[in-house]
Structures are given as structure tokens and as C-alpha cells.
Amino acid sequence: MWNELLFAFQSVATLPNFLAMFAGIWGGVIIGAIPGMTGTMAVTLALPFTFYLPPVTSILLLVALYKGSTYGGSISAILIKTPGTASAACTVLDGYPLARAGKGGKALNMALVSSCIGDFISNISLFFLAMPLAMFALRVGPPEFFMLMAFSLTIVASISGRSLVLGIISACLGLLLATVGEDIYGSYRFALSEDMKSGLGMVPVLIGLFALPELIKMIVFRSEENTEAMKLGDNRLTLSEFRGSLKSICRGSLIGVVLGAIPGIGPSTAAFFSYSEARRTSKNGDKFGEGELEGVAASESANNGACGATMIPLLALGVPGDVITGVMLGAFMIHGLTPGPLLFQNNLGEVYALFVGILFSSVFLFIAGKATAGAFTKISRIPQTLLLPCILILCVYGIYSIGASPFDVTVLLVMGVVGFAMMLLNIPAAPFLIAFILGPMFEDNMRRSLAISRGDLGVFFQSWISWGFFALTVLFVILTIRREWKKWREKRDATPTSAS
């Protein structure tokens, strides 16, 4: 094994491979930072270039683009409240308040460090645990998926802020909008126009809900605080801040690895799951959503942790977990490599070379991220009256480019108005976001499970994985009810005292 590893190291440590990885990471970071341009787009655009490159260099370029774009999404999420990718949506919750408080650079540094650690742990697990994780992933069917989604949705309770009732209303709105379009059996729901038959795009909805309300608020209220540029403050990440978030980073990375290995889950679910866990266990849990570095660390470590792990089912079983790994499967096939168990027998040299190369990519991610973070932080210096209208135009172009559909632009603008109305009514946007992303997976897997079992609810309790998630869900619901009850009693006891 060690001889093969040494040989793999020698074959990877070449200038073309390093250049490909560096270009991929750099390009990915920039593309991920542009709202509307996604990692999928970057990987797809780069695919034709790989025809002329050796197999390992090609795959390393694509993997680097994927990782770079996943981190890049956090840059726009933190600085301009615009999640460049769905997986960065969770980073907005704490990243943007930090940027508003003049700690944008600190948040970017935390995002970078936690992304790199998540990425590194993910790469190590790809190296050592590819087979066992792939076998575990195979045991996760629709019922287990459903239970996992149910548990993930309980995060709504912890990010509802002041009022749990308003948080649930927001989540219901997200769940409802996620049902628009064609369902898994081909029935159309809420298709008020021809365009709505294909549903509402995730990126226009997310960007509309988060980025636009700030612009509308600035135009309507014209308050002084919005016309000034954001303060930069001290951008260095201190050791104590890093140490305070280390637990969440490690946990987030592991969550990313386990969930990323399951086909179909992807980095965004991992980010929400990790954020939820960090909020539950952190001593600063109450500050999450108001600008807590640990929140950024939790979501970023998980979404980058899931990146490398999505390669596990692809390499070990030949099963692409998402669209990006689907494109990568194509790249493997073009170069005559067939992912799956046979790959480890017939092309072990290439597999080890890939593993070593992917490990290098974490280092490149840190270098590229560090270099670009400084430049991107300067965005904060632009006055909001110039910045926010330009962000809208950038979003309009980016979103139109996804599907060349004016309908997506309409969705963006309408969601901006909806987001502003929610802001006025004090309805939190975060539960909407989670429900909109997880809702379709929750419903599809529930319907699939019931279809498989011919309506028998027992299907949800047939494996220990389902039981585990069910127990966690019940436990969390009980804890939430207890917390709300205590809050209500404290309020009730405080009222007569304050009145007297």
C-alpha cells in the first residue's frame, strides 16, 4: 500500500496537476461568490476542457472547482447577504450580522478555516472509510431519509427567534412554496401559469428572500445606517475564537462526511443539521442568528465536509449523489474509468493518485481562500446606496443565466417583496429557508415510503437508523415544549411584579 501511495504522490506532484487544482479552486471560489452561478455550472463548463487532459488531472480540476465554489458561496452570503449556493444559505444567518457589525473579515476567515478543516477531514475519510461509509449509505432508504428530514426540520424551533408560532408560520410558507410544480407522480400543484409547472427555482427564492429585502428596506426607510459603508474592524481570527468553535467545526465536519456519503442529501442539509446541533449544544446558543462565529463555523465545516464525501458513493459504488458528481461520473467515463468496486481493482494507481490530489486541494483551498477573502472584504467599504442596487442587477443576471428564464427573475423580485413583508411583520426568514430546502425531500420520501409499504406506517420503524432519528426528533420536540412552557411561566410570573 505504501509503495502505491508513494507512486501516487509522485504522479500527482506535477506542475500540470497543481496548476489544474489551483485554477479549479480559484475559479470555483470566484464562481461560487457570484450569486446565481453555482458549482454545478462551473463543473459543467469545465467538462469540455477535461477532454484534453490526463484522467487524474481532469478529475482533480473538477473536484477543485466543486470545493472552491462551495467555499465561494460563503463569501457573498457573509458580505452581501446573498447565498451564492444553496449550501451557503445557512451561513447567511450568522455571517451577515457579523459583517454588519464590522466583523466581515473575521467571519470570512472563520468560514475559510472551518471549510478547510471540514474539507480535510472529508478527504481523510474518503481515503480510509470509503467502503464502510458507502455500505452505510446504501442502508439509507426513503423511510430513513424521511426520519432524518423530520429531525432536521425540528431546527425550525431553535431558529424561530422571539416567537415559535411565527417561526412555524414561516416554515409552513416555505413548505407550501416548495410544493409548487410537478410532484414525483407527475401531478401539477399550484401551477397558476405554464412557467410554474416546473416549480420555483431554489436559488431565485433564496436570493430574493435574503438579498432583496435589504434593498427595499433601504429605499423605503432611507435610514442613515443603511447609506454608510459597513465598518471593517479587526478582521483577524483569534486563537480563542477558533478554539471556541473547534468542537462545532469537528462535529460539523463529521456530520458533513456522514450525510455527504448518502446519495441525494448534499451539502445544504448537512449545513443545516450541523448548525442545528451547534446551536443546541453551544453555550452561546442563544446568540445564534445574531452574529455568532460558531454558527458560521458549524455550517461551513459541514458543507465542505460533505463535498469530499459525495465522492464516496461515486468512487466506491459508482452512484452519483448529486448533479455535480453526476457530471464527474461523465468525466470518469470519458477517460475510460468506470467508478465502482472494479475501479479499486483495475485502476488502483489512479484512485490513490486522486486521493492524494484531493488531499492537496485542501491546502490550495486555504491559499486561494486567504488571498481572495482580503479582496472580497473590500466590498464592505462600498456604500450601501451603491452596493445594494448593483447586487440586485448582479442577481438578475446570475439568475437569468441559470435557465434563461424571465420567470426566474420574476420569482426573485416577488420573493424580495415577500421577504420585505415578512421583515415588517417580524416573521423570521430562516425557518422558511430550511423548510423550502428540506420540504421536497421530506415529502418525496414520505410518499415513496408509503407507496413501497402500501400505506403501512410501520415502514418508518423498520431499521435502527429510523428509530435513532425518531428518538432524537421526539426528544427535541419534548425539550422545545418544555423550554417554551418555562418561558411562558417566567413571563407570566414577571408580569405582576413589573405591574406592581
Partner 1 sequence: MNQNRDFYAGLVATAFFALVLFVLIPIYVKVPSFIPGFAPPPDMWPRVVAIIGFVMGVLALVLAFPKMRETSKHQVTGLGGNIHRHKVLIARFVGVLVLFAAFVYGLPVIGFVPATVLLLGVLFIMTGNFERKFWMFGLTIIFPVLLYLLFTEVTHTPFPEGMLFSNSLSNLITLI
Q: Which is nearer to partner 1, 19 or 417 (CB)?
A: 417
Our finding on whether 450 is near partner 1 (CB under 8 A) is yes
Our finding on whether 138 is near partner 1 (CB under 8 A) is no
Q: Please report, as residue ranges, which positions from 145 to 164 form the binding site for partner 1 (by CB under 8 A).
A: 163
Least separation in angstroms between residue 186's CB and partner 1 is 8
CB 318 within 8 A of CB 338: yes
SS3 per residue for 261-295: CCCCCHHHHHHHHHHHHHHHHCCCHHHCCCCCHHH
Task: Give the Cα separation of 104 and 403 in Å (integer).
Answer: 32
Cell numbers 410537478 label which residue?
182
Q: Please report, as residue ranges, which positions from 19 to 38 form the binding site for partner 1 (by CB under 8 A).
A: 37
Piece in contact with partner 1 (CB under 8 A), picked from 104-112, 179-187, 199-207, 319-327: 179-187
Our finding on whether 485 is near partner 1 (CB under 8 A) is no
Least separation in angstroms between residue 114's CB and partner 1 is 29
Our finding on whether 494 is near partner 1 (CB under 8 A) is no
Radius of gyration (C-alpha) of the chain in whole angstroms: 22
Q: Which is nearer to partner 1, 394 or 433 (CB)?
A: 394
Our finding on whether 175 is near partner 1 (CB under 8 A) is yes
User: Which of 261, 265, 392, 437 touches partner 1 by CB under 8 A?
Assistant: 392
Least separation in angstroms between residue 398's CB and partner 1 is 8
Our finding on whether 185 is near partner 1 (CB under 8 A) is yes
User: Which of 6, 13, 45, 474 touches partner 1 by CB under 8 A?
Assistant: 45
Our finding on whether 179 is near partner 1 (CB under 8 A) is yes
Q: How many residues belong to the chain?
A: 500
Task: Give the Cα separation of 26 and 42 in Å (integer).
Answer: 11
Task: Give the Cα separation of 60 and 22 in Å (integer).
Answer: 10
Piece in contact with partner 1 (CB under 8 A), picked from 258-266, 304-312, 364-372, 446-454: 446-454
Task: Give the Cα separation of 189 and 115 in Å (integer).
Answer: 38
Our finding on whether 172 is near partner 1 (CB under 8 A) is yes
Piece in contact with partner 1 (CB under 8 A), picked from 136-144, 239-247, 453-461, 469-477: 453-461
How many chain residues bind partner 1 (CB under 8 A)? 64
Piece in contact with partner 1 (CB under 8 A), picked from 71-79, 133-141, 261-269, 444-452: 444-452
Q: Please report, as residue ranges, which positions from 409 to 428 form the binding site for partner 1 (by CB under 8 A).
A: 409-410, 413, 416-417, 420-421, 424-427
Which of 40, 1, 2 lies closest to 330, judged by CA?
Answer: 40
User: Which of 176, 323, 465, 472 touches partner 1 by CB under 8 A?
Assistant: 176
Task: Give the Cα separation of 246 and 278 in Å (integer).
Answer: 11
Least separation in angstroms between residue 187's CB and partner 1 is 4
What angle in degrees, to the nearest 10, is found between the helix axes of 266-281 and 142-153? 50
Pattern 205-234, partner 1, x by CB under 8 A: ----------xx-xxxxx----x-------
CB 156 within 8 A of CB 167: yes
Q: Which is nearer to partner 1, 112 or 155 (CB)?
A: 155
Our finding on whether 429 is near partner 1 (CB under 8 A) is no
Our finding on whether 457 is near partner 1 (CB under 8 A) is no
Q: Residue 180, Cβ neighbours under 10 Å: how many?
A: 18
Our finding on whether 458 is near partner 1 (CB under 8 A) is no
Q: Please report, as residue ranges, which positions from 364 to 383 form the binding site for partner 1 (by CB under 8 A).
A: 383
CB 498 within 8 A of CB 177: no
Piece in contact with partner 1 (CB under 8 A), picked from 125-133, 134-142, 190-198, 460-468: 190-198
Piece in contact with partner 1 (CB under 8 A), picked from 89-97, 166-174, 238-246, 295-303: 166-174
Least separation in angstroms between residue 392's CB and partner 1 is 7
Q: Which is nearer to partner 1, 293 or 433 (CB)?
A: 433
Q: Residue 111, Cβ neighbours under 10 Å: how many?
A: 31
Our finding on whether 192 is near partner 1 (CB under 8 A) is yes
Tell me how far CA of residue 248 lies from CA of 251, 255, 384, in angstroms: 5, 10, 33
Our finding on whether 481 is near partner 1 (CB under 8 A) is no
List phi, psi (to 5°) of 188. -95, 135
Q: Which residues contact partner 1 by CB under 8 A? A: 37, 41, 45, 163, 165-166, 168-169, 172-173, 175-176, 179, 183, 185, 187-192, 215-216, 218-222, 227, 383, 385-386, 388-390, 392-394, 396-398, 400-401, 404, 406, 409-410, 413, 416-417, 420-421, 424-427, 443, 446-447, 450-451, 453-455
